[in-house]
Amino acid sequence: MDATRLPGTARPDQVVAHVDMDCFYAACEQRRKPELSGEPLVVGMGYEDGETHGAVATASYEAREYGVESAMAISEALERLPRRADADGDADTGIYRPVDLDYYESVAAEVKTILHAESDTVREVSIDEAYLDITDAVGWDGAAAWASDLRATIESEVGVVASVGVAPTMSAAKVASDREKPDGLVVVEPGDVREFFADLPVDEVHGVGPVTARQLADLGIETAGGLARADPEVLESRFGERGREIWRYARGEDTREVTPRGDPKSLSRESAFTEAVEAIEEKERKVTTLAAAVADRAHRKEARYQTIGIKVVEPPFDVHTRARSLPGPVADADLVESIALDLLSEFAERPVRKLGVRVSNLDFSGGEQASLGGFGDGSETAETAANGSPADASASTPEGQASLTAFDGTESNGDTDSAATSDDGVDDTDGQASLGDFG
């Protein structure tokens, strides 16, 4: 399809995808306890088992049918959906669980790794949400099929469900991902943006909250289409500069481009086997390929790294991470390979369905820095590190330098910030989600 120029879009052919996980914290709980799937499930912040304090972080879509929603007091949620007393379960009762953020961040990191494999331009905006610029990687012709494949990959590889919106602008993509939640996919092609917005309630326009929506209703504006047709002068006099901004958004105009923030905290590649593999040779082959790919990625980004790690997924979703830190940053593909293989040896006998290699503790200072005093000597460090061979996350290298990091989970937070709990935590994981490329 030919790209149609829209007034106010940053690039005429821009293709933006917005990915947002469905009832994310609840979905994570359901992944870890499949018997919770399909149940009314409430995840409470500041909530403890059996108590009534705290607030709803999220609720499964089954629980939402009882009127339970994010930010509601747990006490109120309990009135709408009483707590289930025993495992057999009564009708019209729900299961309540406390938030386990470390776990959700580890799941989010797996999703983000897949997203970073899809495009070089990914902006993570919250734990369960990201924008991707797929203009070059996919384009309009393949956008719908790509989004459908992406959703399938996330569900099969991570075990949680994403809704995806694809549109020519960030604001339209965000609205689109929300449109058919849960389990939704909406593609808004360039010529259709105005029409797509026309009948939406005005509070779905980016930048319009409940207060502004009420004020707009006073002006007789209830839909995005109505807002788009309103006089921008009137809006500006009423709401200031923001008035013109929401008018533009309602018209599908949005000049923002998807920009990743900051330098990546880590670089990684991962790849799944079609089915679980036990043979060590096959695992080693994959780790060798992944190690080379990660080292190459770091080379292209002019990054040196001080920590080298692997991720091993045992079926179904049992994620193990091992890492080893060096005394100083290096850029050495052989070292990435030898350490990764050494870390893998612990899993020689175990069934594995997915492997990953990651470098972190990145240094972008480039070659101008003073000599590292031998830290760059790969073979020597490799030998030392290989001898150290820490077999689990509590072990340390002989130099006592171990800062063992994880791809996900609590230990990664200070290091890779991979779960992107905030806007500025960008983990440029460059994962390999497809089976073909490295197989």
Query: Residues with catalytic annotation?
Result: 129
Q: CB of 63: closest distance to Mg ion in angstroms?
A: 15
Interaction between residue 421 and ligand TTP (CB under 6 A): no
Among Mg ion, ligand TTP, none, what does residue 186 contact (CB within 5–8 Å per kind)? none
Tokens standing for residue 98: 């406390």
Amino acid at 365: S
- List the one residue from 82, 98, 159, 182 that touches ligand TTP (CB under 6 A): 182
- List the one residue from 3, 16, 17, 22 that touches ligand TTP (CB under 6 A): 22
Tokens standing for residue 400: 């006592």
Interaction between residue 124 and Mg ion (CB under 5 A): no
Give the C-alpha distances (Å, rounded to integers) separating 393 from 236, 254, 334, 382.
57, 46, 23, 19
| Closer CB to Mg ion, 25 or 249, in the complex | 25
Among ligand TTP, Mg ion, none, what does residue 58 contact (CB within 5–8 Å per kind)? ligand TTP
Give the C-alpha distances (Å, rounded to integers) separating 334 from 89, 303, 373.
56, 15, 19
Q: Which stretch binds Mg ion (CB under 5 A): 20-28, 77-85, 329-337, 380-388?
A: 20-28
- List the one residue from 3, 14, 17, 24 that touches Mg ion (CB under 5 A): 24
Where helices occur in 119-259 by DSSP H, the ranges are: 143-158, 170-179, 193-198, 210-218, 224-229, 232-239, 241-250
- List the one residue from 3, 14, 15, 25 that touches ligand TTP (CB under 6 A): 25
Is the omega angle on the peptide bond into residue 201 within 30 degrees of 0, that is, cis?
Answer: no
Rounded Cα–Cα distance for residues 14 and 132 (Å) = 11
Other beta carbons less than 10 A from residue 89's beta carbon:
13
Q: CB of 24: closest distance to Mg ion in angstroms?
A: 5
Interaction between residue 25 and Mg ion (CB under 5 A): no
Interaction between residue 124 and ligand TTP (CB under 6 A): no
Among ligand TTP, Mg ion, none, what does residue 25 contact (CB within 5–8 Å per kind)? ligand TTP
| Closer CB to ligand TTP, 61 or 375, in the complex | 61
- List the one residue from 21, 147, 319, 340 that touches Mg ion (CB under 5 A): 21
Whether 190 and 211 have beta carbons less than 8 Å apart is answered as no
Whether 94 and 72 have beta carbons less than 8 Å apart is answered as no
| Closer CB to ligand TTP, 181 or 238, in the complex | 181
Interaction between residue 128 and Mg ion (CB under 5 A): yes
Please name which of 326, 307, 308 lies closest in space to residue 372, comparing C-alpha atoms: 326
Cα dihedral across residues 338, 342, 348, 351: positive or negative: negative
Instruction: Compute the chain's Rg from CA coordinates.
Output: 24
- List the one residue from 18, 20, 339, 381 that touches ligand TTP (CB under 6 A): 20
Interaction between residue 45 and ligand TTP (CB under 6 A): yes
Q: Identify the three-state secondary structure at position 353.
A: strand
Backbone angles phi, psi at 165, to 5 degrees: -120, 135
| Closer CB to ligand TTP, 23 or 402, in the complex | 23
Interface residues with Mg ion (CB under 5 A)? Answer: 20-21, 24, 128
Interface residues with ligand TTP (CB under 6 A)? Answer: 20-25, 45, 57-58, 70-71, 127-129, 181-182
